[in-house]
Amino acid sequence: MEVADTLQLGELAAAFAALPVFPLFDTAYFIVSILYLKYEPGAVEMSRKSPFASWLCAMLHCFGSYILADLLLGESPIDYFSNNSSVILATAVWYLIFFCPMNLFYKCVSFLPVKLIFVAMKEVVRVRKIAAGVHHAHHRYHHGWFIMMATGWVKGSGVALMSNLEQLLRGVWKPETNEILHMSFPTKASLYGTILFTLQQTHWLPISEANLIFFFTMFMIICKVFMTATHSHASPFAPVENFVCPVFFGSVSSGHTSHHHNGHGASHDVSHPPPPPAKSKEELNEGTRKRKAKKAE
């Protein structure tokens, strides 16, 4: 018997999973995604200088996950853009956030209580996308666990994984901000979530898809709303990761206490020349005599 049945949440979870996301939840998803674009340095100036580049960046923020998932599954990366309603809705949100007179729309949606509602609604869409990605990959590759996990992961965090491409459109190149190297909470949560949905699809996790969608959505909403309200970047997974990772993967500083290596294998110590040797007492006296001789001249 499932936990949800014990708590008599089965009907609620089923109704929640059947709730349509378009247009209400999708609108919230587009608003939060394009808000994050406007927060990027130089994004407002770019929208004035090159509105088309700004619009492309906004579309990547809104539909980047679909593009990556289609590429993984060998489908056309622009297939989702045939959904005219979603593209027009996302375009309208982009225009209002960047070009609304007196910035009224931006001020309304960025007001913290209103923004928290949109953040919660965005997580509803994220979890649905993870579940849909795993389900789609399971239909194409019935025994491809890693394909299911990869597809669900990019469906949930494709925008972050395409951040370097989006930066190039804005004329910025920051390879050190690669999302694979520095995973944010949504990227990690999408990865852990897609593992759960893959186990559920392959019947290794004894829970229905509707119940898993409900519980994981509640977890994501609580975490993201709290992090947004407190302006925190601390991951809820950090305590567990700090305990587990040293056990299985070793400590970061182990074996590297004497020196550090860069990406090319060269030691950082080589790039710092040794300090010049201290001058002896005789050299200091000789310098003093020369200065006195110049003054006398």
The answer as to whether 259 is a domain residue is no
243-257 per-position pLDDT tens digit: 888 888 887 654 444
Residue 197 clears pLDDT 70, i.e. is over it: yes
Q: How much is the pLDDT for 272?
A: 47
Q: Is 295 helix (H, G, I), strand (E, B) or coil?
A: helix
Identify whether 151 is part of a domain: yes
Kindly tell me if the per-residue pLDDT of 129 is higher than 80: yes
Tell whether the model's pLDDT for residue 278 goes beyond 90: no
Q: Mean pLDDT of all residues in the chain?
A: 85
Confidence of residue 163 (pLDDT cuts 50, 70, 90): confident
In a domain, 273, yes or no: no
pLDDT higher than 70, residue 65 = yes
Whole-Å CA distances, 18 to 22, 27, 45: 12, 18, 41
Q: pLDDT by residue (tens digit) across 84-104?
A: 999 999 999 999 999 999 999
pLDDT of 259: 42
Which position has the token pair 């509105």?
51
Count up the domains in the chain and report the number: 1
Residue 38 lies in a domain: yes
Distance CA 180, CA 161 (A): 7
User: With pLDDT > 90 as the criterion, what percentage of the chain qualifies?
Assistant: 61
Residue 264 lies in a domain: no
Instruction: Decide if 113 is inside a domain.
Output: yes
In this prediction the pTM is: 0.81
Q: What is the mean pLDDT of residues 158-174?
A: 86
Question: Quick check: is 211 in a domain?
Answer: yes
Torsion angles phi and psi, residue 218, rounded to 5: -60, -40
148 falls within a domain: yes
Cβ partners under 8 Å of residue 101, min gap 6: none
**Rounded distance, CA 29 to CA 35, Å?**
10
For the chain, how long is the longest CA-to-CA vector? 102
The residue segments making up the domain with residue 42 are 19-234
